[in-house]
């Protein structure tokens, strides 16, 4: 007997493979890049945001804000 599921993704009780998770994050990060008009320089922001969305984590402070904070601390 074949069971149909509502989603082609793994069942919640099945752990996802690291490769599958990384592929999903990579795909979402690229979508974010495209949504921004393919503007370079935000790779880490895109990756962390995509990772948070895929893994269900709240994104931390964006890398660009961390850089700005670090520069002001050094300058001050």
Residue listed under structure tokens 């793994």 = 10
pLDDT (0 to 100) of residue 63: 59
From 46, 43, 17, select the one nearest 32 (Cα to Cα).
46
Q: What are the pLDDT digits (tens) for 12-37?
A: 445 568 899 999 999 999 999 999 99
pTM greater than 0.95: no
Angle, nearest 10°, between helix axes 43-55 and 63-75? 130
> What are the phi and psi torsion angles at 21 (to 5°)?
-60, -45
Higher pLDDT, 67 or 57: 57
pLDDT score of 61 more than 90: no
């Amino acid at each position: 007997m074949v069971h149909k599921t509502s989603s082609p993704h793994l069942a919640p009780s099945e752990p996802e493979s690291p490769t599958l998770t990384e592929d999903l994050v990579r795909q979402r990060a690229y979508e974010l890049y495209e949504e921004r008009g393919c503007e370079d320089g935000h790779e880490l922001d895109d990756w962390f945001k995509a990772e948070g969305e895929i893994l269900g984590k709240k994104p931390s402070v964006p890398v660009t804000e961390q850089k700005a904070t670090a520069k002001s601390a050094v300058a001050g």
